[in-house]
Structure 1
Amino acid sequence: MNAESPAPEELDALLRLLDDETPGIRERIAERLALGSGDLSEWLASRPRSLSKKEERILTGLLGPARRRTLTREWLAPSGGAAALQEDWETFEALLRVLSDFLHDGVTLRQPLSDALDLLAEEAADEGVTTANELRVYLFEEKRLTANQVEYHDPRNSDLAWSIAEGRSNPLGLCVIFMLTARRLNLEVEGVNFPGHFMCRIFEDGFPIIVDCFGEGRLHLQASLLESPDLNRAQRQQLRLTADPGTILLRLLNNLDQALAQAARDEDAALIEQLQATLA
């Protein structure tokens, strides 16, 4: 078998066979596509014929092995694991990008994660955003980003490029987008690794304020929350702490592992567990 990834002419021929359910044919297509990167979106956008929804679903499945191989190759865990990411936001975002590429369907044309974040920050700046609170209003009160209530456990919530494009995610996804956008605007937004519901922290007149990004950016004085009788000692401790990139990445991988397992994507879940081990 030719060890090189398929050339455009061969890809054209392979795609014409997507509807052929003959086992040998489907197996051959899978073998050839597995040698690529797992992303044909830009090439597909240049073709004169669009794929049907059925063809897109088939192709996405066939591209899965290549995406797993690409993620394994591009996942460059820092020496020292998650603890080494304490202030390394650049590596953190790079790892989020390769996760985003892995979770992408390989068919739909869209911006890479860093470009999507750059554009979101530019849009916010164009709207006159100059403070963390104004960014909160722009993103959440004005519903640029919303809570993905219906598909809370969808693995795509951990694909932040998808979340920005679709305008929705889970609590952690929304918070990470908030933080990474704020960093591009030189604004202070911290992560709060609260059990069961990740949140953010901003500061107004020196006072720490908790932001519930999943709850339309609702504000809570941190001091008031700390006095709540509903919180136990461990929860109060987490409210006081700032989540570093390594902690956030481990939580995102744990969420993603559970979401993939729930979606019966066992091979993908197993790969995510391998990545978690590299951060131990």
Structure 2
Amino acid sequence: MKTKENLKHLLALVDDESPEVRDNILKELQSYGPDLETDLIEFSSLLNDEKNQFLNPLLEQNRRVWLKENFKEWKSFDDEIDQLEKFMELIAVFQMGFEKGGKQKQLLEKLAGEFRNLGSTVDEIDLANFLFHEKNIHGSKDDYYNPLNSNMVYAIENRKGLPITLALLLIIVGAKFGFSIEGCNFPGHFLAKIIQQDELILIDCFNGGRLIFENDLKQTTEDQSLESILKIVNMKTGTKVIVRRVLINLLNAYEKSGQTENKELITSLLI
């Protein structure tokens, strides 16, 4: 039976000079079970860069197994916002681990609290201005294919992410104030969508929360394309569509970065 006391002794030998000893220790750690990463938190003072070099591949494999086994958890919620928040939390934990990735809810509540403290009358556009101007959360243009750009925790802490990640940030935080913000599966560039005074407004979260009105689409889109664009804009973008688009972004990112095992995992989730 694996215990925390055993774990302490295993960690002492994980970077042993003998390859045979290291291999045996890693096999023991591999069989420790799904609690390995969370139990390691208690012994973080015993870890160093050399030990982490041996532990990280094992932890990453454990997270792949964990995501595969728990991926459908987001479907257990009835509310679409809860589904989206849970899905993004699963991605954050998979990429960052249980301790850091598990901070998503706390970070979202902190942002909501800061916005709430602004007082006065606020709406969806005020929230977009708060997130993408005052907090300076912006599009990750120089490092677009970094897989972490699909991670909500990374987006909040590093103030950058993909269009869909930032749109989901706006949607999820907005829901805490009763705002009705939807996603718009716009070709090539995911947007947020709101209705104010019977007028449809798109929000480009990747570019500073830029507002796009229907007249803007008419002026910048050729007549033969406008009808199809407006059809997409007015179509409801459900959770399944959003989840699939995030997964496709991850698939492309892992493929470009040569992370074959993660690419294969995401491919299996898309099937």
What TM-score, normalized to structure 1? Answer: 0.82
Residue type of the alignment partner of 1:36: G
Moved more, 155-164 or 212-221: 155-164
Q: Percent identity?
A: 25
Structure 2: gaps of 5 or more residues? none
Q: What amino acid is aligned across from residue 75 of structure 1 in structure 2?
A: F
Distance 1:110 1:229, change over 3 A: closer
Partner of 1:122: 113
Q: Which residue does the alignment assign to 2:184? A: 192
Q: Distance in 2 between matches of 1:42 and 1:173?
A: 30
CA RMSD of aligned residues (A): 3.0
Asked if residue 207 in structure 1 is aligned to residue 219 in structure 2, the reply is: no
Partner AA of 2:33 in structure 1: G
Which residue is equivalent to 1:61? Answer: 57
Change (3 A) 1:90 1:205: same
- Distance in 2 between the 1:222 and 1:42 partners? 53
Which deviations, in whole Å up to 9, do the C-alpha atoms of 1:1-60 show, x marking residues without a partner? xxx5x432233333334434754444444434444337736743x447264445445432
SS in 2 for 1:76: helix
Q: Deviations over 1:153-194 (max 9, x none)?
A: 111122212222222211111111111111111112111111
User: Across the two proteins, how many residue pairs are aligned to each other?
Assistant: 267
For the residues of structure 2 that align with 1:274 and 1:180, how far apart are their CA atoms? Answer: 27
Higher relative contact order by CA 8 Å / sep ≥ 6: 1 or 2?
1
**1:239 maps to which residue?**
233
Secondary structure of the 1:122 match is helix
The structure carrying a bigger helix percent of its residues is 2
Report the Cα distance in structure 2 between the residues aligned to 1:102 and 1:38, rounded to whole angstroms: 14
Distance 1:253 1:185 in 2: 28
Segment drifting more, 170-179 vs 29-38: 29-38
1:175 alignment counterpart? 167
Structure 1 pair 19/172, CA: closer, same or farther in 2 (3 Å)?
same
Aligned equivalents of 1:15, 1:85: Cα separation in 2: 39
CA distance in 2, matches of 1:228, 1:262: 32
Aligned to 1:36: 33
3-state SS in 1 of match to 2:72: coil
Q: Indicate the larger mover: 155-164 or 70-79.
A: 70-79
1:73 is aligned to 2:69: yes
- Structure 1 residue 143 displacement after superposition: 3.2
Summarize the Cα distance change of 1:214–1:29 in structure 2 as closer, same or farther, 3 Å threshold: farther
SS at match of 1:164: helix
Between the aligned partners of 1:31 and 1:235, the Cα distance in structure 2 is 55
Q: Partner amino acid for 1:115?
A: Q
Q: State whether residues 139 and 145 of structure 1, in contact with CA within 8 Å, keep that contact through their aligned partners in structure 2.
A: yes
